Amino acid sequence: MADYFLVKTPLTLENCLSHDGALVLEQHAELRAMLEARAPAAAGLFAEPLISRGNDQAAASVSWYGDVDGQPVPLSRLDSASRAEVQARLQAQVTPLLPLLDDPEVGAMLSRALYTLEPGSIVAVDGTPLLLNWGMLPDGFERDRSARANHFAQTLGAFVPFPAPPPLGPSEAQKYREAIAAPRAAAGDTGPAPATGAAAAAAATGGMAAASAAKAPPPPPSPPPAEAEPRRVGPGGWVPLLVLTVLAAVVLLWLLLPGTRLFPNDPSEQAISDVAAAELAEEVNVALEARLASLQAALDGAQCRADGTLLMPDGMTIEGLLPPDPRDPNDRAGAIVPADLTPILPPDPARVAVPTATGTLETANLLALVDARTALVIAQTATGTGTGTGFFVGPDLLVTNFHVVEGAAADSIFVTNEALGAVRQAQLLKQSGPLQATGADFALLRVPGANQPAFDILQGTESLRLQAVIAAGYPGDILRTDAQFSQLRAGDLSAVPQLAVTDGTVSVEQDMAPRNTRVVVHSAPISTGNSGGPLLDSCGRLVGVNTFVVQGPLRNLNFALASPELLGFLQGTGALPNVVSSPCRPQVARPSPPPAVAALPAPGAPAEGIPALPLPGATPE
């Protein structure tokens, strides 16, 4: 299979042409094998289709793959120079196919493959021509020869001269043979014979004329023109050249000066200025130094108990739990007990119990809570398909970053997660961004038919510094190797990628210049694809929206827009999330005890199951 996913398009089976009882699209392997044997230059011309015929919940579609990585761009959208270059390559690939259209073995299949659904189906991928939606015609055109000829003249025939449109059926094959033979028969005439029928439609695009010119004998050579006497240039004629030389030298010297940039940074692409990043880095360094000091103190005073529990100097475990009370029979593995808000290491999210608004504990753990409330966001734009993360703030209301859906058409935003069970189309209700210009980076989506639980949103007054947090999302690095995501790309709309969760601690909270946007800087690793995902405390409340990363030589700074910024954005939208202000009081299930270690045998005694060996000097029995 081709290596690179290009685009996904809807499929109407009535538009697909058939050959030998099967769709031409389904015969791509045979088509490519034939081309590799008989016209190798055109072997990669036809994009490889992966067909999904759809079901009651999902429409039929085709995922297209190619040999070249890049974004497919219709030839009509290229600038004139690029279009001319790609068109020349396309003609070089297609020209060897023209004689094959009359071949009794492969002509019928190849003729049908060369029809494309629309002019935009002829695309360029990184300068390489490629056909999408091939083997298709608008409904009814297969039987209407005149409409089909006009359609072909506007699609592939607009870029490559054909003597006649590819023939469908014996009668058209005969006309195609006549169209090919016509230029040869007219070689001794004063001009080509007039084209009729399908050949006339192709001739309207210049195809017949080009074919005739290609086959006509070359005219007799003209005598070379007489050489003109060279014209002498006066002294004044050298002045423009000298001026240009001096200017070029000045520009070259300026470019060689230290600090001169050939290409300035685009400030619109920076979520945070270099000055603000430096200030934040300084605060993060202070927080890290304090963290390092506390870890060193814990290491110096830590003690290991006989049962394998590691106790910190404050008497807590490394996860911030008091050791089990041997006098309490209920204080055992699995028992839910209070935990410290700022432990040395965050507890396993699978053992974190989530308190509800009434104060009772959820039976589900923190991971289950996150899975039900977080979703993958897919946005299709003119430049390609992007992914991000979102989370529910109401039964059918989902928040993500503005930059995740920026530029997407109204019908090109989709969401999915395990609870939804399939891809759902989303409606954009409100957006605010970009971050540098507005101080916000939010988008609110409605998912019709969804009825999902929502995160509580924290709006507290206590500092979050050194508190444990988790980040949830769908980072691109993980999606690339996710089998479910591969199936989703291939058209299986019920396939749902695995949600990724990372943990860390809050380093600093700060108002970020230039618009005093409140941000939370944390150590939970995030990357491209986490944008728009939730940042949660140990009680499962939203404390921020992961938005961007500042990459440094030694570490990355992970930024989330603080929850008060989100609440300001949601005002007036109809979203009514549950807002809490109480400090988090984590509740964590005790871990299972480590497996028992078998007692060592007494000195000189064999271990169980191993026969005793005679000691040196002993007499065997």
Distances (CA, A) of 88 to 75, 91, 120, 127, 144: 12, 5, 18, 11, 30
Winning range, highest mean pLDDT, from 329-338, 565-574, 601-610: 565-574
Q: For the residues of 112-142, what is the DSSP string, one character each?
A: HHT-BSSGGGEEEETTEEEE-SBSB--TTTT
For residue 405, is it within any domain? Answer: yes
Choosing from 123, 141, 160, the residue where a domain stops is 160
Least confident of 42-56, 74-88, 245-259, 569-583: 245-259
Across 349-364, average pLDDT: 59
Q: What pLDDT is stored for residue 228 in this prediction?
A: 47
Residue with tokens 């930024």: 559
Residue 48, phi then psi, degrees to nearest 5: -80, 125
**Closest of 452, 466, 461 to residue 538, by C-alpha:** 466
pLDDT (tens digit per residue) in 173-223: 888 888 877 665 555 544 444 333 333 333 433 443 344 344 444 444 444
Task: Record the tokens describing residue 366, joined without a space.
Answer: 């923190």
Q: What pLDDT is stored for residue 213 in this prediction?
A: 40
Task: Record the tokens describing residue 432, joined without a space.
Answer: 């605010």
pLDDT above 70 coverage of the chain, percent: 68
Q: What pLDDT is stored for residue 621 in this prediction?
A: 45
Tell me the pairing of strands 579-580 and 457-458: parallel
Least confident of 126-130, 152-156, 189-193, 273-277: 189-193
Q: Which has more confidence, 480 or 312?
A: 480
For residue 273, is it within any domain? Answer: no
- Bridge partners for 205 per DSSP: none
Choosing from 113, 145, 160, the residue where a domain stops is 160
Confidence of residue 557 (pLDDT cuts 50, 70, 90): confident
Q: What pLDDT is stored for residue 582 in this prediction?
A: 87
Host domain of residue 9: 4-160
Q: What pLDDT is stored for residue 262 in this prediction?
A: 33
CA dist., res. 334 & res. 526, Å (int): 30
Taken in order 29, 31, 34, 40, is the CA torsion positive or negative? negative
Q: What pLDDT is stored for residue 260 in this prediction?
A: 35
Number of H helices, E strands in the chain: 15, 29
Confidence of residue 171 (pLDDT cuts 50, 70, 90): confident
Q: What pLDDT is stored for residue 293 in this prediction?
A: 67
Residue 571 confidence (pLDDT) above 50: yes
Confidence of residue 342 (pLDDT cuts 50, 70, 90): low
Residue 454 confidence (pLDDT) above 80: yes
The torsion of the CA quartet 32, 34, 40, 41, rounded to 10 degrees, works out to: -60
For residue 386, is it within any domain? Answer: yes
Q: Are 310 and 316 in contact (CB under 8 A)?
A: no
For residue 94, is it within any domain? Answer: yes
Confidence of residue 573 (pLDDT cuts 50, 70, 90): confident
Choosing from 124, 141, 160, the residue where a domain stops is 160
Helix intervals (H) in 6-55:
28-38
Contacts of 332 (CB under 8 A, 6+ apart): 324, 590
Q: What pLDDT is stored for residue 585 in this prediction?
A: 80
Q: What pLDDT is stored for residue 477 in this prediction?
A: 84
Across 428-455, average pLDDT: 93
Distances (CA, A) of 296 to 104, 323, 344, 360, 387: 82, 21, 11, 37, 40
Q: What pLDDT is stored for residue 209 in this prediction?
A: 36
Q: Which has more confidence, 199 or 514?
A: 514
For residue 310, is it within any domain? Answer: no
For residue 291, is it within any domain? Answer: no
For residue 316, is it within any domain? Answer: no
pLDDT (tens digit per residue) in 320-329: 666 777 777 7
For residue 429, is it within any domain? Answer: yes
Confidence of residue 370 (pLDDT cuts 50, 70, 90): very high
Considering the chain, what is the average pLDDT of its residues? 78
Helix intervals (H) in 440-520:
476-479, 483-489
In the chain, how many domains are there?
A: 2
CA dist., res. 62 & res. 133, Å (int): 9
Report the CATH number at residue 524: 2.40.10.120
Q: What pLDDT is stored for residue 93 in this prediction?
A: 94
Confidence of residue 564 (pLDDT cuts 50, 70, 90): very high
Contacts of 485 (CB under 8 A, 6+ apart): 479, 495, 497
Residue 201, phi then psi, degrees to nearest 5: -65, -40
Residue 589 confidence (pLDDT) above 80: no
